[in-house]
């Protein structure tokens, strides 16, 4: 059988044969590339290749007689649909972590792993659980993936100062100053978003996110060594960096790290491949665990990026509002796939559109209950009358990145009382976060319950975080802050952009999620004795009034919705055709 016709079951057999050849009892296959990011190039889709599971997060443990796929709550249903139950066991990544499972089921086994695909902090959880890990020099999946695609080689382009807001020189100096403050000589930069931010470049190496994949060493004197295929860096782009930035192929990394012998080198133990720390220690460097020095600088958008985000969201809102009007006539005539295609086409008509920021989640009825549902030709179904339809989507513009979710009732009948009440509880949680002011120093985990309290009061909850960071024409999921009970306690800071997306999911029936993006701003309290922060909502699209039970809302919540809808109409309406503007005016009329 030709390699490109192998199904996931046959691929699993090939991998087991390769593991036996290497005297390994098992192997860890994460959904990751060498940058440990969410979106990976085709040549790094090892988990999908071996298992058939195509979600954006997960890990497989492959043993000689058992294979287990671990996913979080977003992908439980998808994992069940995409993997063969005769060959793959499914486990919840959070409730039963793989290291716990291995300690209980393969205590004496030698488990291989690729040190390019795991951070040291992740590996520590396995060793602490008593799992015996063995680093491999070459990934065994690659050895049996005979038709594996090549590495992406798309050229990078300059991200102009009119969008970036700061020069490369200023960014290098800001980041290097963080190293000098703690006496460190250099830092490993493995996150392509940090490389893109630091050098004001954007690329096309992975889906949905404008990255050019590469690594960098930032030195305390603000010099940068970039390790990226030379053919990806046009001469005119390199010329903008000056002599303080050098360029070399990735193969030069080991030699460059060897020159850091005796130096103190920062490595983000939670986000950098373990290969770097191991190589640096072997070279005689002192590895200092610490956050990538670009992460917080990148997350706190400058004034140009903040205004760019507002511009991007106004542009995006034109397409979203046109789509929502179109959607009102879609029930019975359109499908999930055609709806997602329509929204993409409307966005493509807008100024500056550079592509989706992730694959749209278009879930009708019971598919809306699959938190990160991805419609396929096999799963596509009609959008029917009198059901919920959830559409979660986003776009990339040079000015900024968008992410919005709306849940609508397709009609023509009124929604059932229980669904409308649940929608309103989700909306109340969404509003509670939107309206919140909080002291400076508060972190994401502290705010998570704010968006859940109304749902909890009815015995309802949702199995995902409430919010995540969003980049500036970068990743739609950006650290270091997220609004989640499992998030690290990193203080929320002015200039960050975070999503606000509570939901509720009734498996086999319906799903509800409402999402806007929030810009963190200073709060103005004349009598405050300490600095406070607040949120500016930058997403602009109406909520579905047919699903709102206004009697469940407080007067303050009604006023907030009315003010928000008035703003949507004022900022988006002038860019719409008369018929679309009239539709929007009706949807943005006051609740009371």
Q: Model confidence over 324-349: pLDDT tens digits?
A: 999 998 878 999 999 999 999 999 99
Query: Which of the 8 DSSP states describes residue 252?
Result: G
pLDDT tens-digit map of 402-411: 999 999 999 9
What pLDDT digit, counting tens, does each position of 292-322 carry?
999 999 999 999 999 999 999 999 999 999 9
Average pLDDT for residues 422-450, to the nearest whole number? 98
pLDDT for residue 77: 80
Query: What is the tally of helices (H) and strands (E) in the chain?
Result: 20, 28
- Residue 140 has a pLDDT of 98
Distance of CA 87 to the CA centre of its chain: 30
Task: Identify the pLDDT of residue 318.
Answer: 98
What residue ranges do the domains of the chain occupy?
3-144, 157-294, 300-587
What H or E segment, with its residue span, contains residue 309?
A: helix 303-327
Q: SS3 for 542-585, per residue?
A: CCCHHHCCHHHCCHHHHHHHHHHHHHHHHHHHHHCCHHHHHHHH
Q: Is the pLDDT of residue 75 over 80?
A: no
Q: Count CB atoms within 10 A of the CB of residue 157.
A: 16
Pairwise CA distance, residues 17 & 20, whole Å: 5
476-498 residue pLDDT tens: 999 999 999 989 999 999 999 99
pLDDT band per the 50, 70, 90 thresholds, residue 76: confident
CATH number of 157-294: 3.40.350.10
Fold matches, 3-144 and 300-587: no
Nearest to 232 by CA among 156, 159, 160: 156
pLDDT greater than 50 at residue 1: no
Mapping DSSP onto H, E and C, the string for 346-389 reads HHHCCCCCCEECCCCEEEEHHHHHCCCCCCCCCCCCECCCCCEE
At 131-163, the pLDDT tens digits run 999 999 999 999 999 999 999 999 999 999 999
pLDDT at residue 3, rounded to an integer: 40
Average pLDDT for the chain: 96
> What is the spatial distance between Cα 233 and Cα 61, in angstroms, rounded to a whole number?
38
| pLDDT(2) > 50 | no
Average the pLDDT over each of 105-109, 355-359, 437-441 and give the range with the smallest value.
Answer: 105-109
Q: Which CATH number fits domain 300-587: 3.90.230.10, 1.10.3470.10, 3.30.230.70, 3.30.70.1090?
A: 3.90.230.10
**pLDDT band at residue 372 under the 50/70/90 scheme:** confident
pLDDT level of residue 5 (50, 70, 90 thresholds): low
How do residues 115-124 score in pLDDT, each as one tens digit? Answer: 999 999 999 9
What superfamily in CATH does domain 3-144 come from?
Creatinase/prolidase N-terminal domain (3.40.350.10)
d(Cα 192, Cα 206) in Å, to the nearest integer? 10
pLDDT over 90, % of the chain: 91
pLDDT score for 559: 98
Q: What percent of the chain has pLDDT over 70?
A: 99
Chain segment 241-297, per-residue pLDDT in tens: 999 999 999 999 999 999 999 999 999 999 999 999 999 999 999 999 999 999 999
């Amino acid at each position: 059988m030709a390699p490109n016709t192998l199904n996931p079951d046959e691929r699993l057999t090939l991998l087991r044969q390769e593991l036996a050849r290497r005297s390994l009892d098992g192997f860890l296959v994460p959904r990751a590339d060498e940058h440990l990011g969410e979106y990976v190039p085709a040549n790094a889709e090892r988990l999908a290749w071996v298992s058939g599971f195509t979600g954006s997060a997960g890990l497989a443990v492959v043993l000689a007689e058992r294979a287990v796929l671990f996913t979080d709550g977003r992908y439980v249903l998808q994992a069940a649909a995409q993997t063969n139950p005769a060959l793959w066991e499914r486990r919840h990544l959070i409730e039963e972590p793989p290291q716990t499972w291995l300690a209980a089921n393969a205590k004496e086994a030698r488990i291989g792993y690729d040190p390019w695909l795991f951070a040291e902090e992740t590996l520590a959880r396995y060793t602490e659980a008593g799992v015996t890990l063995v680093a491999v020099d070459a990934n065994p999946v690659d050895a049996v993936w005979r038709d594996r695609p090549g590495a992406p080689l798309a050229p990078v382009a300059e991200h102009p100062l009119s969008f970036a807001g700061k020069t490369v020189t200023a960014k290098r100096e800001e980041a290097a100053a963080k190293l000098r403050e703690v006496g460190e000589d250099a830092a490993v930069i493995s996150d392509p978003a940090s490389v893109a931010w630091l050098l004001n470049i954007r690329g096309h190496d992975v889906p949905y996110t404008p990255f050019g994949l590469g690594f960098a060493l930032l030195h305390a004197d603000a010099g940068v060594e970039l390790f990226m295929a030379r053919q990806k860096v046009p001469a005119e782009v390199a010329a903008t960096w000056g002599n303080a930035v050098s360029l070399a192929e990735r193969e030069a990394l080991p030699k460059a790290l060897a020159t850091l012998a005796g130096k103190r080198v920062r490595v983000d133990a939670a986000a950098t491949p373990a290969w770097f720390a191991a190589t640096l220690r072997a070279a005689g460097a002192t590895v200092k665990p610490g956050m990538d020095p670009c992460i917080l600088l990148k997350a706190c958008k400058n004034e140009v990026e903040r205004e760019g985000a507002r511009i991007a969201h106004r542009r995006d809102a034109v397409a979203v509002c046109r789509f929502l009007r179109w959607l009102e006539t879609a029930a019975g005539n359109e499908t999930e796939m055609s709806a997602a295609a329509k929204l993409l086409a409307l966005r493509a008509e807008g100024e500056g559109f550079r592509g989706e920021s992730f694959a749209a989640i278009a879930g009708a009825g019971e598919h809306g209950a699959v938190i990160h549902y991805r419609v396929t030709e096999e799963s596509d179904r009609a959008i029917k009358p009198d059901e919920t339809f959830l559409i979660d989507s986003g776009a990339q513009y040079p000015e900024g990145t968008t992410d919005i979710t709306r849940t609508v009732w397709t009609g023509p009948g009124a929604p059932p009382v229980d669904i409308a009440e649940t929608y309103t509880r989700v909306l109340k949680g969404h509003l509670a976060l939107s309206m919140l002011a909080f002291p400076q120093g508060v972190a994401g985990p502290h705010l998570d319950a704010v968006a859940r309290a109304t749902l909890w009061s009815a015995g309802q909850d949702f199995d995902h975080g409430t919010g995540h960071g969003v980049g500036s024409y970068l990743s739609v999921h950006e650290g270091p802050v997220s609004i989640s009970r499992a998030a690290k306690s990193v203080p929320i800071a002015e200039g960050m952009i975070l999503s606000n997306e509570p939901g509720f999911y009734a498996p086999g029936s319906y799903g509800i999620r409402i999402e806007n993006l929030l810009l963190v701003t200073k709060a103005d309290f004349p009598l405050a004795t300490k600095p406070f922060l607040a949120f500016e909502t930058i997403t602009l699209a109406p909520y579905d009034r047919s699903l709102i039970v206004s009697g469940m809302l407080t007067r303050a919540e009604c006023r907030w919705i009315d003010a928000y809808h008035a703003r949507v109409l004022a900022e988006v309406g002038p860019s719409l055709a008369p018929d679309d503007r009239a539709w929007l005016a009706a949807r943005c009329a006051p609740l009371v």
